Amino acid sequence: MFLKQSTGLIVITGLLCNLCPQVEAAVEKTGKLVFAHVMFRHGDRTPIDPYPNDPYRTPTAWDGVDWGQLTNDGKRQHYELGQWLRNRYRNLVNETYDRNEVYIRSTDVERTLQSALANLAGFYPPKGHDVWLEELPWQPIPVHTVPEKMDLLLASKKACPAYEYALKKKRHTDEYRELNKKFKNLYDYLSKYSGKKINSLEGVQMIYSCLLIESIHNKTLPKWTQSVYPGDMPWISAKSFSTYCSTPELARLKAGPILREILHRFRNKTEDSLKPNRSLWIYSAHDTTVANLLNILGLFDPPHSPPFAACVMMEMRLIDNQPYISVYYKNTTAEPEAMNIPNCGPSCPLDKMFTLYEDLLPTDWESECKLPLMTMSYEEVDNSSSSSSIVAVTVIVTSCLALLLVLLLAYAGITYQRRRHYQELYTYHGSTIRTQLI
C-alpha cells in the first residue's frame, strides 16, 4: 500500500496491513489522533561491562562488536519497529519527511543514536522525489542530541544532588535493608563466582542483564549460574528499575522534566501555539528512561526490566474537539492496548492529566536539585562511594563546622586571656591598663 517500489518490501506491507482494519476501527472509536510522543529503548546490544570471570569477555564472542554497542539484531529490531510505527502513524505524518511534522531526539550514546537511525530507515524509506540513490532505499533523517552531562530530559544524567541524596536515603530505608539481608547469600555467591563485588540490587541487576544478553545470544552460561539464574534475578532487577522513581520526590526530580515537557507540548498543540506545528516527537533512550516514564505515570505495574526496543507511546486524540491522552506500551510483538491511567482510565482528558500529575512536574528543576546542606545527617550518608557528591558535600560541611569550632575556641581563648589580662592589670597594675592594651 505505501511501499510499492520494492517487491521484497511488499511482503512486509502485506503482513502489517493484516492489522490495519482493526487499528483503524479502534482509532476511530477513540477519536482523531493529532499528536504522539514515542519513547523507545535501543535494540539488542552486547553486554556493557562483562563480569571479570565471564567466559565471553572476548571481542570474538561478539563478532567484534564492542561492549555496549548495538548488534545487527538490534538494528533489525528498530527497523521493524520503525515500519510498525509508520503503519500506526500513517495518517499523522506524511510518508515524505518534513521537518515541520516530526522531531527526533536521542541520548548521546552510540546505541541509541544508531537505534534511532535504524528505526527511521523503517519509518521513512525514500519515496518519489526523495529517492537520491536508486540502489539505496534509505535517506538521512536528522536525529538531535545533547551531551549526557547536560541532558536532564532524556539521559537524565545532569547532576542533581537532591536526587542523589534522596535515592541514597531510599536505599537505606528498612525495606531496602531487609532486601539486602534477604539476598545477602546471593550477593556473596555472585561475588565469589563472577569475580566482582556485588552488594546491592543494582549489582545483581547488572550481572543479570549480562547473563540475559548472553542467553538471548544462545551462549551456554557457566555451570555456576545454574543455581541462581534466573531465580530471583528478574524480580531483583525489576525492583532495581522501580527504585529510581519510587517516591514522589524521586519521580519529580528524575522523570518530572520529560513528563512536563510532553504534557506542555500537548497543551501547546491544542492551543495552536506549537511552532513548528509538529505532530510526532520521537525519543530514543534506555531501559531506565522507559521504566521511569512508565513509573512516574503510575503505569510501571508490574515492575519489570524493559526489553530491547520496548516502546512507550503517549498519544493525544480529539473527542468532540476535546483533547484526551492515552498511553500505550509495546514490549512484545503483540499489538499494545491503551493502559489504564490511574484515577482516570485508558483515555484521560489533558486537563485532568495536569491535575493528576501536578505534584510531579518540577517548576524550577535546577533549584530543586540543590541540596539543603543542613538536612544532612551522618548515618544517612553512605561512605562506601567516596566519589559521590554527597560525600563531597559532607566533607565540606564537616570542614566548615570544624573551622567554625576552631574559630569559636580561638575567640573564647582570646577573650579568656584578655579577661585575665584585665583582671591582672586591674588587680596588680591599676593605672597602666591603657598603655598595656593598645
Ligand X SMILES: *[C@@H]1O[C@H](CO)[C@@H](O)[C@H](O)[C@H]1NC(C)=O
Q: Could you tell me the smallest distance in angstroms from the CB atom of residue 392 to ligand X?
A: 34
Distance CA 178, CA 112 (A): 36
Which span (165-173, 265-273, 364-372, 405-413) binds ligand X, by CB under 6 A?
265-273
Q: Could you tell me the smallest distance in angstroms from the CB atom of residue 259 to ligand X?
A: 11
Q: How many residues bind ligand X (CB under 6 A)?
A: 20
x-marked contacts with ligand X along 78-107 as a string, rule CB under 6 A: ----------------x-x-----------
Distance CA 374, CA 54 (A): 45
Query: What residues numbered 278-337 form the site for ligand X, per CB under 6 A?
Result: 279, 302, 304, 307, 329, 331-332
Q: Could you tell me the smallest distance in angstroms from the CB atom of residue 180 to ligand X?
A: 25
Identify which of residues 135 and 320 has a Cβ nearer to ligand X in the complex.
Answer: 320
Q: Could you tell me the smallest distance in angstroms from the CB atom of residue 336 to ligand X?
A: 9
Which helix (H) or strand (E) is 146 found in, with range? strand 144-146
> Beta 311-319 vs 32-41: how paired, if at all?
antiparallel
Distance CA 429, CA 309 (A): 90
Q: What is the DSSP letter of 35?
A: E
Identify which of residues 171 and 260 has a Cβ nearer to ligand X in the complex.
Answer: 260
Identify which of residues 332 and 367 has a Cβ nearer to ligand X in the complex.
Answer: 332
Q: Could you tell me the smallest distance in angstroms from the CB atom of residue 331 to ligand X?
A: 4
Which span (6-14, 173-181, 204-212, 257-265) binds ligand X, by CB under 6 A?
257-265
Identify which of residues 253 and 312 has a Cβ nearer to ligand X in the complex.
Answer: 312
Identify which of residues 321 and 386 has a Cβ nearer to ligand X in the complex.
Answer: 321
Residue 394 burial (CB count, 10 A)? 18
Residue from 134, 135, 174, 272 touching ligand X (CB under 6 A): that is 272
All residues at 6 or more sequence positions from 108 whose CB lies less than 8 Å from its CB, including other chains: 145, 146, 147, 148, 151, 155
Cell of 170: 531510599
**CA nearest 326: which of 344, 308, 302, 310?**
344
Residue 287 known to be catalytic: yes
Distance CA 259, CA 324 (A): 16
Identify which of residues 169 and 239 has a Cβ nearer to ligand X in the complex.
Answer: 239
Q: Could you tell me the smallest distance in angstroms from the CB atom of residue 255 to ligand X?
A: 15
Distance CA 362, CA 190 (A): 39
**CA nearest 210: which of 75, 46, 62?**
46
Q: Could you tell me the smallest distance in angstroms from the CB atom of residue 276 to ligand X?
A: 9
Query: What residues numbered 186-245 form the site for ligand X, per CB under 6 A?
Result: 217-218
Cell of 329: 506500551
All residues at 6 or more sequence positions from 378 whose CB lies less than 8 Å from its CB, including other chains: 394
Residue 222 burial (CB count, 10 A)? 16
Residue 134 is a binding residue for ligand X (CB under 6 A)? no
Identify which of residues 311 and 348 has a Cβ nearer to ligand X in the complex.
Answer: 311
Distance CA 71, CA 61 (A): 12
**CA nearest 86: which of 165, 170, 20?**
20
Which span (174-182, 267-275, 378-386, 397-405) binds ligand X, by CB under 6 A?
267-275
Residue 73 known to be catalytic: no
Choosing from 44, 54, 151, 287, which is the catalytic residue? Answer: 287
Distances (CA, A) of 139 to 3, 133, 380: 15, 9, 53
Residue 268 is a binding residue for ligand X (CB under 6 A)? yes
Residue 265 is a binding residue for ligand X (CB under 6 A)? yes
Residue from 100, 220, 277, 385 touching ligand X (CB under 6 A): that is 277
Cell of 390: 554527597
Distance CA 384, CA 386 (A): 6
Identify which of residues 94 and 199 has a Cβ nearer to ligand X in the complex.
Answer: 94
Choosing from 42, 78, 286, 304, which is the catalytic residue? Answer: 42
**CA nearest 294: which of 262, 269, 334, 266?**
262
**Which residues lie near ligand X (CB under 6 A)?**
34, 73, 94, 96, 217-218, 261, 264-265, 268, 272-273, 277, 279, 302, 304, 307, 329, 331-332
* Catalytic residue annotation: 42, 287
